[in-house]
Structure 1
Amino acid sequence: MTTTQFPLSIRASAESEGENAIFHKIRHEILAGNLPANERLKVSDLAKKYGVSTNPVREALQQLRGEGLVVFTPNQGARVRTIDTDFVRDVSEVGQQLEPYLVRFFAETASQDDIDRLEAIQDEIERLNFSDKGKHADLDCQFHTTLYGNHYNRVAYKLWQQHRQILWAISTRVPVAIGRREAIFHEHRKLIDCIKRQDIDGTADTLYHHVRDAGRHLVDRLSIVQRKQGT
């Protein structure tokens, strides 16, 4: 996979150009903090910025309103909602319930080729050793997509993709602590080991703690950044 401005393979597909592409771009900028909290979102300015007509921008803002990322106020138009630690916690907690459910199917059905792919991706993650945050994010997404991508429940899988997009975009605001980096390596290897042994409960339990600890780390780091910024 190639890396663009949206790691984790979170990119609009060719058929998603227009309204959906603009939606993803604006959402990413809100979550990454490039569009600050409470900033007014003027349709004409956004259309000029992204080189599109005003219609796809209006549609994107309505979609973002539905996700709770944009707030419409009478006589004031659209503004960016505050991305606070409560929001991050809530999104993360959904993942804690969803991802163990998804991984059980993989643990039950994984082939040797699947396991070899996981190990190859993890080898590359460890060789990179967080030297490039975007590339790490892309590899990490490949790792988790391998775990969930063939699940029969496409609604659940698409929900995971949505939550992944949100948490990754927010994570671009903060550095990853050294201790968390080491924990990620250990947790991924433990997941692979459980899958090799066809330990379905162990796989799900390991993934639950992996997602929980990742969410807690992001909340803690974001809290530190926001305190420093006085937000």
Structure 2
Amino acid sequence: MTEQPLPLGAVRATGPRLGSARQLSERVAAYLREAIMVGELPASEFVRMEHVAARLGVSATPVREALMILQGEGAVRWEPRRGFRVVPLSRRDVDDLFAVQAHVAGELAARAAAALAAGEVARLRAVQDELTAAADLGELDRVAELNHELHRSINRAANSPRLAAMLNLFVHYVPRAYYGQVAGWAEATTDDHVPVLAALAAADPSAARTAMAEHIRHIGRLLTTHLERTGALPASDPPDSRPTSGRRGD
């Protein structure tokens, strides 16, 4: 794979194309979100804002604003006179993320199955054929691009913009830029889409819901295994050590 000095690819400040200051802060937050998820910013360590700013080619202001966004999400916490510390990621966090994503994506696929015209299904099959060819050639960037196009088309076909917007909130936490490094990802992307497309072609909402939800859960399992292998995620979470009063229901 080609070197990726910036996991999100294009976060550098390159002039007016970056858009508003708010958009820049959100893009920096996306970079930090992924860096935390994959362990580039280790759990319990403090985030060095000046290092992040230098790496991304931005000022300290959007970095601080991005960290405030992540604090609201529970990914970091502010400690007075010390800075922002990364909150440890647990397997439950990852499981919860993909469980909710699977449910919402499955529902969108079910609605798309009832709405897609035959011509659009044929177009999606053509996208999938191109995706499979790219996977066979090891062109993982192209696989990611086509995978995004296929899922985006299905979500749009559901004609449920608010539900699709909710899905996007959860997708923000998924480190898509790293999927090419996840063992089995390309194969899952090609193989898992087959039953999804078959259900869409058959206009079968129930089958589409089941196939899409299982696809998302499968990707979640692959990512969890990858994060455990790289040390970004504990192999198993420790038991709940919170003190209890000994009274039921407390």
CA shift in 2, pair 1:142/1:199, >3 Å: same
Q: How many percent of aligned residue pairs carry the same amino acid?
A: 23
Residue of 218, 221, 224 corresponding to 1:216: 221
CA shift in 2, pair 1:198/1:224, >3 Å: same
- SS of alignment partner, residue 84 of structure 2: strand
Q: Tell me the CA shift for residue 121 of structure 1.
A: 1.4
CA shift in 2, pair 1:165/1:76, >3 Å: same
Q: Tell me the CA shift for residue 169 of structure 1.
A: 4.1
Q: Tell me the CA shift for residue 62 of structure 1.
A: 0.6
Q: Tell me the CA shift for residue 173 of structure 1.
A: 8.6
Q: What residue number does 2:3 align with?
A: none
Q: Distance in 1 between matches of 2:27 and 2:101?
A: 24
CA RMSD of aligned residues (A): 3.0
Q: Tell me the CA shift for residue 137 of structure 1.
A: 1.9
CA shift in 2, pair 1:184/1:172, >3 Å: closer
Q: What residue number does 2:230 align with?
A: 225
AA aligned to 1:76 is R
Q: What residue number does 1:135 align with?
A: 142
AA aligned to 2:129 is D
Aligned length: 222
Q: What residue number does 1:22 align with?
A: 28
Post-superposition CA distance 1:129-148 (Å, at most 9, x none): 26133332222111111110
Q: What residue number does 1:154 align with?
A: 161
TM-score (norm 1): 0.81
User: Is the 1:69–1:81 contact (alpha carbons within 8 Å) kept by the matching residues of 2?
Assistant: yes
Larger radius of gyration: 2
Please list every run of 5 or more consecutive structure 1 residues that lacks an aligned counterpart in the other structure: none
Residue of 103, 110, 117 corresponding to 1:104: 110
TM-score (norm 2): 0.75
User: Is the 1:173–1:222 contact (alpha carbons within 8 Å) kept by the matching residues of 2?
Assistant: no
Q: What residue number does 2:124 align with?
A: 118
CA shift in 2, pair 1:229/1:27, >3 Å: closer
Q: What residue number does 2:245 align with?
A: none
Q: Tell me the CA shift for residue 188 of structure 1.
A: 0.9
- SS of alignment partner, residue 59 of structure 1: helix
CA shift in 2, pair 1:111/1:23, >3 Å: same
Post-superposition CA distance 1:117-172 (Å, at most 9, x none): 21121111110126133332222111111110244433321232232232234854
Q: What residue number does 1:75 align with?
A: 81
Q: Distance in 1 between matches of 2:74 and 2:176?
A: 16
User: Is the 2:34–2:174 contact (alpha carbons within 8 Å) kept by the matching residues of 1?
Assistant: no
User: Is the 1:174–1:225 contact (alpha carbons within 8 Å) kept by the matching residues of 2?
Assistant: no
Q: Tell me the CA shift for residue 76 of structure 1.
A: 1.9
Task: Say if 2:196 is the partner of 1:191.
Answer: yes
Q: Tell me the CA shift for residue 230 of structure 1.
A: 8.7
- SS of alignment partner, residue 40 of structure 1: coil
Bigger shift: residues 22-31 or 140-149: 22-31
User: Is the 2:43–2:88 contact (alpha carbons within 8 Å) kept by the matching residues of 1?
Assistant: yes
User: Is the 1:102–1:148 contact (alpha carbons within 8 Å) kept by the matching residues of 2?
Assistant: yes
Q: Distance in 2 between matches of 1:202 and 1:111?
A: 17
User: Is the 2:224–2:233 contact (alpha carbons within 8 Å) kept by the matching residues of 1?
Assistant: no
Q: Which has the higher contact order (CA 8 A, sep 6+)?
A: 1
Please list every run of 5 or more consecutive structure 2 residues that lacks an aligned counterpart in the other structure: 1-5, 10-16, 237-250
Q: Distance in 2 between matches of 1:155 and 1:203?
A: 20
Q: Distance in 2 between matches of 1:25 and 1:165?
A: 10
- SS of alignment partner, residue 79 of structure 1: strand
